[in-house]
Amino acid sequence: MFTWKKLGKLFNPQEVTGRPWLKEFAQGPAVLIQDRTVRVYFSCRPPADEQGRYVSYSSFVELDRRDPFRIVRVAEAPILPLGGLGMFDEFGVYPVSVIRRHEEVWAYYGGWTRCESVPFDVAIGLAISRDGGETFTRFGSGPILSASPDEPFVLSGPKIRRFNDRYYLFYIAGRKWILADGRAEPVYKIRMAHSEDGIHWIRHNQDLLPSRVEPDEAQASPDVFFSGGRYHMFFCYRYSTGYRGRERGYRIGYAVSDDLVNWRRHDDRAGIDISPSGWDDEMISYPHVFALDGKVYMAYLGNQVGRYGFGLAELQGDLDD
C-alpha cells in the first residue's frame, strides 16, 4: 500500500503582483522538467468583468529543481492569447497538458466559449512552442478534438501521455446537463483517444471508469502514470450538485490497468484525502503525478478548485496492485 505525504501549498496566485491577468486561481498544474527548474503550467483568471464573467489564461511558474518550494520566477505573460471572435477558445485556455516532441513542446488544452442556455462549452486544442515552452502558437484556428455524436459537449481536461511509441490523450466528455436550483451543471466522464502523430485521434468511445458516488457523478483530470508494469490513474470526482462545499466536493480517486482500456477503480487506495483544516480541508482535485530525481510527486488543487493555488505531495511506498 502507498500513501501521499502532503508537503504543503506550493504556489498561491494571490501573492503574485504586477500581472493583471493573474489575479486568482492556479488550476490544472502540469509539469515540464528542465535541467535546473521544474516548470509548472497552470490556468488563472484576471478579475471578473462588470457582469461578473471571467476569462481564463494559462501560464507557468518555475521552481528550483533541488527545492521545489523555492519559486525561481513567474512567467511575465500567458503562454497563449485568447482565441479570436467566435473561436472555440475565445474566452479561455484551461487546462493545459504539455509534452516534449523533438525540439518542440506541444500543449493540449481545453478551449472554452460562452453559451446561451448553459454557461459554457469546451473543446480540445493544440498549440506548439518552438522556444522551449515559453510561448505557444495554435496548430490551427479550430480544435483537434471536439463534439461528436457519442461525445456531444464539454471535451476538456486533456492529459497527453506517450506509452509504447503511441500518444494517448485522456480527457473528459460531457454526457448531459442537469438543472439544479436554476443553474445548469455538466455531468462528464473520463474518456481516452490514441494517435500515432499527436494530431489525428482515434477515440475509444467508452467511459473508462464506473460511477461511484451517484450515477451522475462528474469525473475529471485523469492522469496516468506507468509504474511496476501497470498503469495507474489518479483523477478527481464529485457529486453532480451541491459540490462547492466539503460534503459533496471533489475528492481524488485511483484506478489501475494492465492495458489502458480496462480499469479497476479503488478510490479507497488513492492514499490522499482532504485535510482536517487549512487550504485543502473542503476538497482536493486535479491531480498531476510526476517523477523527479528518484521521487514521485503529486501536484493538486485545494479548496474552491484552486482559487488559492496548488500544493505538492510526495509518494510514500510503491505503486502496486
Mean pLDDT of 195-210: 97
Kind and range of the H or E element at 61?
Answer: strand 57-64
Kind and range of the H or E element at 290?
Answer: strand 285-292
pLDDT confidence bin for 292, thresholds 50/70/90: very high
Mean pLDDT of 107-117: 97
pLDDT confidence bin for 163, thresholds 50/70/90: very high
Is pLDDT above 60 for 232? yes
* Predicted local distance difference test score (pLDDT) of residue 27: 97
* Predicted local distance difference test score (pLDDT) of residue 244: 87
Mean pLDDT of 176-194: 95
Residue 71's beta-bridge partner residues? Answer: 63
Mean pLDDT of 51-74: 96
| Residue 7 grid cell | 508537503
For all residues of the chain together, what is the average pLDDT?
96
Mean pLDDT of 165-173: 98
Residues 159, 231: contact at Cβ < 8 Å? no
Is pLDDT above 60 for 321? no
Mean pLDDT of 263-277: 97
* Predicted local distance difference test score (pLDDT) of residue 259: 97
Mean pLDDT of 137-141: 97
pLDDT confidence bin for 13, thresholds 50/70/90: very high
* Predicted local distance difference test score (pLDDT) of residue 1: 84
- 304-to-211, 284, 286 alpha-carbon distances in Å: 22, 9, 12
Domains observed in the chain:
3-316 (2.115.10.20)
Is pLDDT above 90 for 101? yes
Residues 61, 11: contact at Cβ < 8 Å? yes
Phi then psi dihedrals of residue 15, to 5 deg:
-95, -5
pLDDT confidence bin for 320, thresholds 50/70/90: confident
d(CA 140, CA 132) in angstroms, rounded, equals: 20
Sign of CA dihedral 246, 186, 124, 85: negative
* Predicted local distance difference test score (pLDDT) of residue 75: 98
Residues in the chain, overall count: 321
Percent of the chain with pLDDT over 70: 100
